[in-house]
Structure 1
Amino acid sequence: MNTVGHTIKRFGISALSVLVLAFGTSACGAASEPEALSDDQQQAIVDLVQDHGTDFAAPSCQVEVFRIGDPATFGWATCTETQGPNPAPAAQATAFPFKITGSTVEKPGDGAQYLKDVHTMFPEDLWSALEQRNRGA
């Protein structure tokens, strides 16, 4: 009976340890998630990216915010060119990571400059997410 009691006690302690570790890990992961944005905050970011992040005359952008911080906001934008009252399907599109500081929108350069800029502009913990997005994964 004593052996069974020890086995149950060990199992209980092991199960408790696993639960504490699981909850602790999920709590740490939740801390890195961006805060929920109000519609006005989201629209302000979209407006900045549309006005200062593309060369399109009439862009329409969707943005995903990775992190809102002080002093910068980091995310990914997908923009298409839309013109006229009844635009045809988008002939041009672009997708890029962005960094917003105040009202300045920065994005990495093209080609060989891209990776260098990503490593300079973005926090290291976002590099793999940006690489996956850039590859289309």
Structure 2
Amino acid sequence: MNPKHFIVPIGTKVKLSEYDPAYTGEFRADTEAEALLQADIKQLAKYQDILYAQNTYALLIIFQAMDAAGKDGTIKHVLSGVNPQGVEVRSFKAPNDEERLHHFLWRSSKALPARGRMTIFNRSYF
């Protein structure tokens, strides 16, 4: 799959009507995509071990999509092969009373991953 299909150059406007929602890349069957996903999951688990061992950097993954777009299922499926002790998933719904008392970035900055760890933001306002 060519990731350039999904990259929007800085400063350009996006017209969603120009994108085919049924686009599946070069995959002709679900089994092809699943095999590649499993290989990527193994590689992600390996990189997670390195990230933890070096304890120098952190990884933040942000999922942004419409309601019912499959964010939860995608996160669960893609991260199924990593060590759950090194990953935290944070969902951002409407701010609660405590969060409203702070700057609007307070709750997301509070949830950033520590060195050696991964955090997934399930929705964000960035």
Which TM class, normalised by the smaller chain length? under 0.3
> Which structure has greater strand proportion?
1
Could you say which structure has the greater relative contact order, defined with CA pairs below 8 angstroms and 6 or more residues apart?
2
Give the TM-score, by structure 2 length.
0.24
| Greater helix share, structure number | 1
| TM-score where L is the length of structure 1 | 0.23
